[in-house]
Amino acid sequence: RCTASSRLVVTDGIHDRFVEAMKDRLAKLVVGDALDAKTQIGPVVDQSQLKQDEDYIAIGRQEGADLAFGGERLDRETRGFYLQPALFTQATNAMRISREEIFGPVANVIRVKDYDEALAVANDTPFGLTSGICT
C-alpha cells in the first residue's frame, strides 16, 4: 500500500512552528543504503524516477511554492539515486505538486485558516487517498 504523506494541510495557528519542526526533523533523517539498519530513507528506484522527482521540485518552484528544505541529490558510499527529502511551503492545493503523485521524498505544506478549510482542501482531489488528522 502507498500511504506517503505529500500534502500536509496545516492551520494558521501552528503553521510556522510545524514547518520549523519539520525542517529540524528532515535535517536529522539518515538518507542512504536501504540495507543499512541506520538508514531511514533509501534511494529512489532509478535514474528516471530521480529525474522525475527533480522535475517536480522545479515545477513546485515555478508554480510559486517555496522550497523550504532539501531537494538536493546526495552522494553516498553505496551507489544509488539518493535525494534529500524536500519540503515546500507557500503551496496551494491547485499546484501540480499538490495534485499529482511524485513518488519521491517530496512534501508540501498547505496553510489553511481552520478545520473546515482543512477538510475542504483534503477532500479536493479526484483520488481516493489515505489521510489522517493530528491535533
CA dihedral 9, 14, 15, 18 (to 10 degrees): -90
Q: What is the pLDDT of residue 24?
A: 98
What is the value of pTM for the model shown?
Answer: 0.93
Residue 69 lies in a domain: yes
- Residue 104, classed as helix, strand or coil, is coil
Q: What is the pLDDT of residue 2?
A: 60
Q: What is the count of structural domains for the chain?
A: 1
pLDDT in tens, 32-65: 999 999 999 999 999 999 999 999 999 999 999 9
Residue 129 lies in a domain: no
Handedness of CA 41, 46, 47, 51 (dihedral sign): negative
Residue 128 lies in a domain: no
Range of the domain at 96: 7-123
Among the residue ranges 43-47, 74-78, 96-100, 126-130, the one predicted with the least confidence is 126-130
Output the CA–CA distances (angstroms, integers) from residue 114 to 12, 38, 104, in the order listed.
7, 38, 28
Residue 130 lies in a domain: no
Residue 79 lies in a domain: yes
CATH of the domain at 119: 3.40.309.10
Handedness of CA 101, 15, 92, 54 (dihedral sign): negative
What average pLDDT does this structure show over 22-39?
Answer: 97
Contact at 8 Å (CB) between 124 and 76?
Answer: no
Cα angle vertex 58, ends 39, 30, to 5°? 10
Residue 131 lies in a domain: no
